[in-house]
Chain A
Amino acid sequence: MARVVILGAGISGHTAALHLQRHLKKGAEIIVVSPNSNWNWIPSNIWVGVGKMTKDQVTFPLAPIYKRKHIGFRQAKAVAIHPEGSPDNPQGFVDIDYTDPTRSGQEEQLTYDYLIVATGPKLNFAATPGLGPDGNSWSVCTAGHAEQSAAALETIIEALKAGERKTLVIGVGHGTCTCEGAAFEYTFNVEHELRERGVRELADVVYLSNEYDLGDLGVGGMTFAQNGFETSSKMWTESLFRERGVRAILRAHVEKVDPGVIHYEELDGSKHTLDFDFAMLLPPFRGVDMKAYANNGDDITDDLFAPNGFLRVDADYAVKPFEEWTPEDWPKTYQCPRYANVFGVGIAFAPPHAISEPRKSPNGTIISPAPPRTGMPSGVMGRTVALSIAERIRHGDQAPLRTASMAAMGAACIASAGTGLRKGSAAAITMYPIIPDRKRFPGSGRDLTQTSGEIGLSGHWTKLLLHYLFIYKAKARFGWFMIPE
């Protein structure tokens, strides 16, 4: 019986596991390896970070779901891939170290016929001295981090209630960060919370980002057709910042976070400091620390993984200037070029380049967003690769692979700007395609009939609906597969 090993149980890996099980039933053994015991609906961590949801509302244990679906589960961390197997056995295998407290210190070699690398990112707080919950700033990347942020925010609100002035800085903690959308959401959820608690006047809320313009969001910004005009996401976002009285510092690379002081460099090379009382700064991402070895023991990590630690797949990784970037650079099947039975999905695959225009300061510091590939695209990639593998297991290695290029895929993004069934709001955005195609869509590179943005209460309802729908789906409850990625 064929064995499929999936490294990672986030949106992409978990989606792949459920679809593989559904399509292959007992025709294959599916094993998920994840260092975490819980699944986390990460988009709702924003609400945990302002105390409007608890950790338990955005997470659930994976083991009972996998037991019910007859999917193997190892709570463990993958440390090395051996795609050529060993001198005695050509079958590929993965070295895993258990993080399950009941098997602490144990290791295992897991052989596979197909391997899906869906390990997500390593939260690289170490890239910026003083960044992160172990340093001098907070994070909402995990539900646990978000809970810590909520507690710290509560302390600030108490001080504001006592009449003290406070500066709250929210954004990204390095020039190469991604997920500016999450920073945007947390900024406006905090701002909303401060207003709801009657302490907004005493708080200076600052958004600190590596984006060149507001509304870039790591996708190079968007153009919308509204009321007979083409408007930009820049103008649209700036309008929200003006309306809500939020300051912005853009084109910034955070160099260091000292207690109460952020040191940052701007794109013009100038250096600045910013005093703060509360800072939530997202870390840059890199691939998880995993090695790869040939069957003779040679280290082939650099062949399998890009320098940023993400898995190389069927993308065009040739270095070329921004003007020469094309949609065809982006991967379609997510298959590893060197090993046909290895795939990389979600954040774990190495993108060929950014989506936003790359920029460097005169000091050589890169200050531009990395490409986002979370949420909906991650789920679609996971499903697509699962179906490709299922077809190969059923019909043989010549079965064609399915495709899901981000250059042929749209995305919906609901960026919360405050909670509450009557008082909440969110920016509801759709874009098609994610990767701009300026040949097909001259000008903005995207289809104006399918790229849209609007702000309002209904956006909040949609985000809340998606919270419940995706947790239902991830729990593999009745009809889960009817809910699309």
Chain B
Amino acid sequence: MSDVDRSIAEAPLPTAGTLRRRKGLFYQATRFVAFNFRMMKMVTRAHH
């Protein structure tokens, strides 16, 4: 097993709850708003 394979094999796996949240419509709607707000802040900063 290579170093890369070993490192991947030891990486943390998301829990069932995390996987559910990644697909959950309500939670993802809030993340959509939060991420786009963060992105807009960054974009605004890049334009000045």
Contact = CB atoms under 8 A, between A and B. Distances in A.
Do A and B come from the same complex? yes
A140 interface: no
B31 A458 contact: yes
* A interface: dominant SS: mixed
Given A376-B43, A409-B46, A425-B22, A248 B8 contact: yes
B11 A485 contact: no
A243 B13 contact: yes
A78 interface: no
A454 B35 contact: yes
A461 interface: yes
A448 interface: no
* B interface: dominant SS: helix
Interface stretch (A63-71, A156-164, A233-241, A363-371): A233-241
A484 interface: yes
Contact of A457 (B23, B36, B38): B23
A380 B39 contact: no
A170 to B, nearest CB: 15
A458 B32 contact: yes
A430 B12 contact: no
B4 A428 contact: no
A176 B17 CA distance: 39
B12 A239 contact: yes
Contact of B39 (A238, A250, A425, A430): A430
A456 B42 contact: no
A432 to B, nearest CB: 6
Interface string B7-46: 1110111100000011111001101100110111111111
Contact of A404 (B12, B40, B46): B46
20 contacts: A235-B12, A241-B8, A242-B8, A247-B5, A380-B47, A410-B46, A423-B23, A425-B23, A428-B35, A430-B35, A432-B42, A432-B45, A450-B41, A455-B22, A458-B29, A461-B28, A462-B36, A484-B43, A484-B46, A485-B46
Cβ-closest 5 pairs across A and B: A238-B11, A458-B32, A410-B42, A456-B22, A458-B28
Interface of B: 2, 4-5, 7-9, 11-14, 21-25, 28-29, 31-32, 35-36, 38-47
